[in-house]
Amino acid sequence: MTSGNIRSNIHPGDAVAIILKKDQPTGELTFGRVADILTNSQNHPHGIKVRLTDGQVGRVQQVY
């Protein structure tokens, strides 16, 4: 597993665990594959924002 805070760790097609905006209070994770990377900066303290293949958007917590 790799951290989701660094953009270079994440590539389209990677299996990831993200946290959706609505799940931030509970910390519930959503699993899927990266379709698009939405964060332009090289790192982000809360995780790189991505869009999954099913259209959900959230911040990466883990890369598998």
Domains, the chain, ranges and CATH? 2-63 (2.30.30)
The residue behind tokens 């293949």 is 53
The predicted structure's pLDDT at residue 2 = 86
Q: Name the maximum alpha-carbon separation found in the chain.
A: 27
pTM: 0.93
pLDDT at 1 over 90: no
Q: Is the Cα torsion angle 45, 53, 33, 41 positive or negative in sign? A: negative
The predicted structure's pLDDT at residue 29 = 98
19: amino acid identity, one letter: I
pLDDT in tens, 2-45: 889 999 999 999 999 999 999 999 999 999 999 999 999 999 99
Q: Which has the higher per-residue pLDDT, 53 or 1?
A: 53
